[in-house]
Amino acid sequence: MSGTKSSSAQPTSSTLDAGAVSTLASRLRGRVFTPDVAGYDDARTIWNAMIDKHPAVIARCAGAADVRYAVGFAQEHGLQLAVRGGGHNIAGSALCDGGLVIDLSAMKSVRVDPARRVATVEPGVTLGEFDHDAQAFGLATPVGINSTTGIAGLTLGGGFGWLSRTYGMTVDNLRSADVVTVSGELVSASERENADLFWALRGGGGNFGIVTAFELGMHKVGPEVMAGLIVHPFADAEALLRRYRDVAAAMPNELSAWVVLRKAPPLPFLPAEVHGKEVVVIAVLYSGDMKDGERAIAPLRAIGKPIADVVSPHPYSGFQAAFDPLLAPGARNYWKTHNLARLGDEALDLLVDAARHLPGPQCEVFLAQMGGAVRDTPEEATAYSGRDADFIVNVHARWTDAGQDGECVGWARALFKDLAPHATGGAYVNFMTQDESERVRMAYGPHYARLAALKKKYDPANVLRVNQNINPA
């Protein structure tokens, strides 16, 4: 099946002799993995099991000095370069075949300044690690909904989650970044310094340099929030989704309600006869005061006759990991995404129809509610493009047996195609797969030309091209 599985070619390291590798190893404070070194296979394993790439060398950097050296080394030896944060990107862009991977996963420091409400975060930090440290001070920043995702890739593509309707995209909370450029300089990017680079980093992905620290603004959240799942039978799915749409349109910014259409996992609060049957799940989180949360969620609870309603006070950091068991690493995954300005009847019916034909128990249709504070930042203020979308729909094909590749990928592609006339044409770059290069321009939207000009300034030779790539103008 072309374009769905990355190459498993062996390293093409003919230009890279053992002497060069040992020089690299001696210069780094971190570790170097080549195919003959124990730990190499672990080091080339990422979240999506569809990705099976064999880098010639993996430089697990310990700090910005290592990153500077590794960037120079890759260019000196003509090696393709990939950059790994948390290794979650569905497209497998954390790795490359036969080149050098700058692996940032060991750079794990989080320094919280509670008085200024900012955190300085290294690029190997996962969302769960960030939430853990931030919540120790009663603070949080909008990040994604799966705790093993990396903060680095998520932030550079835009970043959103349960808190985004209240506090904006992750990039709206980014105060500054330390960046190693492809020429090996370490620069700071903020509204005051290298403001053009700072603009590009906030949504332009890993195209402009390698970020070695993110300074993120934070907000008072939790420690408990009103959150949970409302699970409905599938029989009324069309009507339920129409009611959801109307209720969602009138919700306060503190409340987010996402929809998942899937087969019910064997959760203890669901009756056994529902397990394995299609259900409509409304997942909610209210970020403000608990009592106000009860009131705000009431209209959602009044929709239909749920099978289960487990919305109650939950630790914020616990709810941030609530979906982890359904999104564990090691499965085969193929996703398709659209930005939707509104949920029209026809689009809703397409989602329900696709969910009637799920090719497996782990496949799902995911509807993330956007809007709210995401709209408070003007479209042109950051490179993230997509603030016009009230919803992002993700078609998650997920399975374990490679023999099912065709069926699962085909299911995702079919719904994606059917939904296209109902979508804005924009897309969230962080959800795009490896075979969507023709969509990249549309994904960066009206910002593409400015991004291409900045790419020419900061990476004229397109050294950083294993990503949703912006060609230098």
Ligand X SMILES: Cc1cc2nc3c(=O)[nH]c(=O)nc-3n(C[C@H](O)[C@H](O)[C@H](O)COP(=O)(O)OP(=O)(O)OC[C@H]3O[C@@H](n4cnc5c(N)ncnc54)[C@H](O)[C@@H]3O)c2cc1C
Q: Does 168 bind ligand X (CB under 6 A)?
A: no
Interface residue with ligand X, options 327, 409, 451, 454 (CB under 6 A): 327
Q: Closest CB to ligand X among 145 and 423?
A: 145
Q: Closest CB to ligand X among 294 and 388?
A: 388
Which of 53, 98, 102 lies closest to 80 in space, CA to CA?
98
Q: Does 88 bind ligand X (CB under 6 A)?
A: yes
Interface residue with ligand X, options 30, 99, 144, 445 (CB under 6 A): 144
Q: Does 104 bind ligand X (CB under 6 A)?
A: yes
Q: Closest CB to ligand X among 158 and 228?
A: 158
Which of 206, 153, 204 lies closest to 450 in space, CA to CA?
204
Please give the size of the binding site for ligand X, defined by CB under 6 A: 35
Could you tell me if 139 and 114 are in contact, meaning their C-beta atoms sit under 8 angstroms apart? Answer: yes
Could you tell me if 363 and 426 are in contact, meaning their C-beta atoms sit under 8 angstroms apart? Answer: no
Shortest Cβ 119–ligand X spacing (Å): 16
Q: Residue 88: what residue type? A: H
Concatenated DSSP letters of 322-388? TTGGGG-TTSEEEEEEEEESS--HHHHHHHHHHHHT-SSTT-EEEEEE--GGGGTS-GGGSS---TT
Q: How many CB atoms lie within 10 A of CB 123?
A: 28
Q: Does 161 bind ligand X (CB under 6 A)?
A: yes
Q: Does 430 bind ligand X (CB under 6 A)?
A: yes
- Both tokens of 436, joined, read 């969507």
* CA 430 – CA 371 distance, rounded (Å): 18
* CA 144 – CA 141 distance, rounded (Å): 10
Q: Closest CB to ligand X among 260 and 274?
A: 260
Interface residue with ligand X, options 43, 64, 70, 152 (CB under 6 A): 152
Could you tell me if 250 and 331 are in contact, meaning their C-beta atoms sit under 8 angstroms apart? Answer: no
Q: Write down the H helix ranges in 187-236.
A: 195-201
- Give every CB contact of residue 191 below 8 A, 6+ residues apart in sequence: 198
Q: Closest CB to ligand X among 84 and 422?
A: 84
Which of 426, 391, 424, 394 lies closest to 249 in space, CA to CA?
391
Interface residue with ligand X, options 98, 157, 204, 386 (CB under 6 A): 157
Instruction: Map the footprint of ligand X across residues 173-232, applying CB under 6 A.
Output: 205-206, 210-211
Q: Does 163 bind ligand X (CB under 6 A)?
A: no
Shortest Cβ 253–ligand X spacing (Å): 17
Interface residue with ligand X, options 6, 34, 93, 337 (CB under 6 A): 93
Which of 172, 130, 113 lies closest to 121 in space, CA to CA?
130
Supply angle C-alpha 156, 157, 159, rounded to 5: 95
Residue with tokens 């195919």: 35
Q: Does 374 bind ligand X (CB under 6 A)?
A: no
* CA 288 – CA 299 distance, rounded (Å): 17
For residues 29 to 68, the per-residue mask of contacts with ligand X, x marking binding by CB under 6 A and - elsewhere, is ------------------x---------------------
For residues 108 to 137, the per-residue mask of contacts with ligand X, x marking binding by CB under 6 A and - elsewhere, is ---------------x--------------
Q: Residue 102: what residue type? A: I
Q: CA-based Rg of the chain, rounded to a whole angstrom?
A: 22
Q: Closest CB to ligand X among 82 and 358?
A: 82
For residues 229 to 268, the per-residue mask of contacts with ligand X, x marking binding by CB under 6 A and - elsewhere, is ----------------------------------------
Interface residue with ligand X, options 149, 181, 256, 433 (CB under 6 A): 149
Q: Closest CB to ligand X among 150 and 304?
A: 150
Q: Does 154 bind ligand X (CB under 6 A)?
A: yes
Q: Does 86 bind ligand X (CB under 6 A)?
A: yes
| Residues engaged in binding ligand X (CB under 6 A) | 47, 83-90, 93-94, 104, 123, 144-146, 149-150, 152-154, 156-157, 159-161, 205-206, 210-211, 327, 430-431, 466-467
